[in-house]
Chain A
Amino acid sequence: MQKVSLEINGKKVSREIEDHTLLSTLLRDILSLTGTHIGCDTSQCGACVVHVDGKSVKSCTLFAADIHGSKVTTIEGLANNGKMHPMQEAFKKLHGLQCGFCTPGMVMSAVDLLKNNKKPSDQEIRDWLEGNICRCTGYQNIVAAVKEAASKM
């Protein structure tokens, strides 16, 4: 067991956790932030993507203790005072989600893309999202939504 302190969605959080606790486990099972999803057991699907110190990471692949002191943003922390982030708005406007299960990871990943590349091409978006699997949308409206968000940010 060890104590880990993080800033999650702007709030300071400290917990005694087992050494092997994954960040996704801390978020979902200990802090009840269930917007971060688990879709596989091999770090392939990307449903668990969150931001750690501003960068997108797969939270199922990270020990919570290893990021002690970091700032974490989850899908629950993306909206600002109840107003959805332009990426969330764009996904809604262009029907970039269906069942919604991959959506939190997809949105968090896409937000990070636009931090690195303000006006990505279709191909750049598709390449970036290679680590996020969606079974419903065929990705087309997701790509359109990311472009729409880029035009609004």
Chain B
Amino acid sequence: MASSLIGSRVERKEDKKFLTGKGRYTSDINLANQTYAYFVRSPHARATISKVDISKASNAPGVVKILTGDDLAKDKIGGLIAGWKIVSQDGTDMKCPPHPPLANNTVNFVGDHVAVAIAETLDQAKDAAEKVRVDYKVLKAVVKTGDALNSKAIHDGIDKNLCFDFLLGDKGKTDEAFSKADKVVKLDLVNNRLIPNAMEPRAAIGDYNSSSEELTLYTASQNPHLSRLILSAFNAVHPEHKFRIVAPDVGGGFGSKINAYAEDAVVAWASKKIERPVKWVAERSESFLSDNHGRDHLTHVEVALKNDGKITAIRVDTIANLGAYALVLGTVTPTYLYAPLLLGPYDIPAACCNVKGVYTNTAPTDAYRGAGRPEATFVVERIVTEAAKEIGMDQAEFRKKNFINKFPHQQCLVHNIDSGDYHAHLDKALELSDYKNFENRRSQSSAKGKLRGIGFSTYLEACGVAPSAVVMSIGAGVGLWESAEVRFNATGNISVFTGTHSHGQSHDTTFAQIVGDRLGVPIENIDIVHGDTDKGPFGMGTYGSRSLTVGGVAIVKACDKIIEKGRKVAAKMLEAKPEDVDFKDGEFVVKNSNKKKTIGEVAFACYLPGTFGDIKSPLPEGVEPGLMETSFFDPSNFSFPAGSHICEVEVDQDTGETKVAKYTVVDDFGTVINPLIVEGQVHGGVAQGIGQALYENAHYDESGQLITASYMDYTMPRADNFPEIKLGFTSTPATSNPLGAKGCGEAGTIAAPAAVMNAVIDAIDTDISMPATSEKVCNALQKNKKNKEAA
């Protein structure tokens, strides 16, 4: 039974509650004597505030309290933080403006928090919020990424709106490679701003008990312990030991639920002030305005080439839009999560990357599924595609010519890639996608009056977001290890506590498979517990495809400690030496005998350590009762999933409508625990990547109003936007963790935009930016036609 669990398509343990309407999301929770919060948000992208008049609002029906930035300052509630310090190339630290949860005297994006109305009902809170009078002096907003460096500072003392001027790589060596190049290929690229749009809007409930002085915050978070740490240590909302954060069922995150947001801090603090629960649930329009956004880069990239197709250097200059403030992972996303990945899976000997992080009067950006790696992959896979065209080589052959072939491989920027076989996944993708017959399909499309194009994206990504020693040396404000606690109960079933958090990733099932495999216990008898700071040990949470590669390994290590203690206890019970007792498939067996005890019997003995009636289980000397072990795992390296995406699109020449006609993915995720779940992660990731390439775009007008602030205006990918995605797998297990797992949560989103855009550009023979909407494609085709007629 046991060994078959790894790699098995086990149906999810968590599904039934969601399928029967018994999921429990934050907005489903209602507490006795609860009040409702509604936020007053800035309607202006940039303004100073001379006065916030709450007199009318305070007297509105049902109002319990109106709170403003002044109240917050009086109570010494701290500002929201950037969690990762980036050092500029001149040696100075990044510059961050103050970011109070409720505005002090300036607002810096539409949706910025000004005040909160708390009332007996939600309708009363909304009515009261409308009666809060704010005197704004509207200032000229800086909106566009490309304008920030040339505009007047929006934050006092932050010249050119420059947060950091980051440089990675060897400029001299790179310049030299370019001077010796046979050919240089250049591109200017836009990575469009996206809005994460987890289907569950954010929500938070603060619940303070004035007698016990315990504060509970229910919140839709990917990392409750981390949020508690931030809200305690930086915002000073409440001492950590009296502060409980519960992130119950959470309806998707994609990075947008990493931050401890203004609303979290405010409802928690407000609950203390009024000594009643305070509930806030975002409307979708609030999510659009105030969830962190993602991407938003302008990039110039160049590669140096030899005539035989070998890439000798890459040079990248990027302006990354941080939005109005620097968030928890807002500064690391466009730097260390981005720049090192600009080498792709290629053996490129020289590289240099400059990233300027800039402030604008737009919603702050932070990690969004892939976080930096989709942006990097888009740059490298677009330029590699253009380089192959310039050299006149087949796209697959060009990539193979430049692939890393030997492992481990120390890249010239940061990463030491432990394992991989890039030829294997590309070859498999070529076969699965029927690449050799592509030109036939192109002709068939052409016969229907459609333009068909093909695009490749061979990605490499770095997952795990660890090890602590490395990340802290480059500015991380915390270590990125993970915790686990495995508690054997006396009756033989197991409760496993993980510091990661599942908001769709299927931890209840995957982790149960790992524990079941390790301890030989049926998965029905294993419960995975997460999302409550009062239950398990401190954990860092879920992002960066780290849950399995870091959190899963912590669970394995805790299981191994259980086995080691169990071996001593079993040896005593079996009257053997511990070294003579083997553990396999849930049983402790004395070597060369049929004497054995199940792990359940051993667990029972650990809780009843003595002799009573039929029970004869005195523990060995020096062994403590109970069977519960904790482990904190800090990996030695990142893990490096890689793979090949091949996309074919069909473009309607009359309307510009672009459809994905065929999509093939072959991934190398190392060891796969549950293929059913992993395939689901890839499908979802690819859909988000296709969404970025063809449909999604966060658009601000010149004054800084978000034009795409509802599902009427922001194009979410729908079921009818996709063909069936064909998947394949290869496997080179990771050497940096005992599971051999590499992570799978973000790969689809990382690789897909480049594959789709390479296909679109191949079809229409013109470089256009994302998203390749019908309008944009149609205009490009018209322009092409005119150019050809003129020539």
Chain A residues proximal to chain B, CB less than 8 Å? 28, 32-42, 44-45, 47, 74-76, 78-79, 84, 88, 91-95, 97-104, 107, 122-123, 125-127, 129-130, 132-143
Contact = CB atoms under 8 A, between A and B. Distances in A.
A126 B712 CA distance: 19
A148 B275 CA distance: 51
B684 interface: yes
B142 interface: no
B648 to A, nearest CB: 17
Give the most central of A41, A78, A127: most B CB within 10 Å. A41
A135 to B, nearest CB: 5
Given A40-B711, A98-B505, A103-B19, A130 B12 contact: no
Contacts of A32: 30
B91 interface: no
Nearest to A101: B251
B236 interface: no
B285 A88 contact: no
Given A33-B21, A135-B197, A135-B198, A42 B712 contact: yes
Interface string B5-25: 000000110111111111111
Contacts of B724: 122, 140, 143
B284 interface: yes
Interface string B227-256: 000000000000000000000011110100
A47 to B, nearest CB: 6
Given A102-B199, A127-B720, A135 B23 contact: no
A139 B199 contact: no
Contacts of B680: 95, 98, 136-137, 141
A15 B15 CA distance: 32
Given A95-B676, A141-B683, A101 B20 contact: no
A99 B19 contact: no
24 contacts: A34-B24, A40-B711, A42-B711, A76-B20, A78-B20, A84-B20, A88-B20, A95-B11, A95-B12, A95-B677, A95-B679, A97-B19, A98-B504, A98-B680, A100-B18, A100-B251, A101-B199, A127-B720, A132-B719, A136-B199, A138-B684, A138-B686, A140-B683, A141-B679
Nearest to A105: B199
B684 to A, nearest CB: 5
B506 interface: yes
Contacts, number: 176
Q: Is the interface of B mostly helix, strand, loop or mixed?
A: loop
Interface residues of B, number: 55
B247 to A, nearest CB: 12
B330 interface: no
A137 to B, nearest CB: 5
Given A37-B200, A101-B25, A126 B720 contact: yes
B688 interface: yes
A39 B201 contact: yes
Contacts of B677: 95
B684 A92 contact: no
Contacts of A140: 683, 722, 724-725
Given A44-B711, A100-B23, A130 B504 contact: no
Contacts of B786: none
A99 B22 contact: no
Interface in B487-507: 503-506
Nearest to B690: A138
B18 A103 contact: yes
Contact of B285 (A41, A122, A126): A41
Interface string B675-694: 01101100111111000000
Q: Is the interface of A mostly helix, strand, loop or mixed?
A: loop
Contacts of B19: 75, 84, 88, 91-92, 97, 100, 103, 107
Nearest to B19: A88
B716 interface: yes
B483 interface: no
Contacts of A47: 199
Given A34-B21, A122-B724, A138-B683, A101 B200 contact: yes
Contacts of A103: 18-19
A40 B489 CA distance: 43
Contacts of B703: none
Nearest to A123: B720
A93 B30 CA distance: 32
A99 B683 contact: no
Contacts of A76: 20-22
Interface in B267-287: 283-285
Contact of B284 (A41, A104, A132, A135): A41
B788 interface: no
Contacts of B503: 99
B75 interface: no
Nearest to B21: A35
Give the most central of B250, B254, B712, B720: most A CB within 10 Å. B720
B252 A139 contact: no
Contacts of B176: none
Nearest to B687: A138
B257 to A, nearest CB: 11
A122 B725 CA distance: 13
Nearest to B29: A34
Contacts of B24: 34
A135 B251 CA distance: 10
Contact of B12 (A37, A44, A92): A92
Contacts of A35: 20-23
Contacts of B197: 135
A82 to B, nearest CB: 9
B718 interface: yes
A30 to B, nearest CB: 11
B28 interface: yes
Nearest to B502: A99
Give the most central of B18, B23, B27, B201: most A CB within 10 Å. B18
A99 to B, nearest CB: 3
B88 interface: no
Interface in B17-68: 17-25, 27-28, 30
B31 to A, nearest CB: 13
Contacts of B28: 28, 34
Interface in B480-528: 503-506
Given A39-B200, A126-B719, A127-B720, A139 B687 contact: yes
Contacts of B16: 84, 92
Contacts of A100: 14-15, 17-19, 23, 249, 251, 504
B710 interface: yes
B24 to A, nearest CB: 8
Contacts of B719: 125-127, 129-130, 132, 134, 139, 142-143
B481 to A, nearest CB: 26
Contacts of A123: 720
B128 to A, nearest CB: 18
Nearest to A146: B719
Contacts of B686: 138
Contacts of B12: 92, 95
* 10 A-B pairs closest in CB distance: A35-B21, A100-B18, A101-B251, A138-B687, A99-B504, A44-B711, A138-B683, A98-B504, A75-B21, A34-B28
A47 B19 CA distance: 12
Contact of A134 (B20, B199, B283): B199
Nearest to B713: A42
A26 to B, nearest CB: 15
Interface in B182-203: 197-201
Contacts of A142: 719
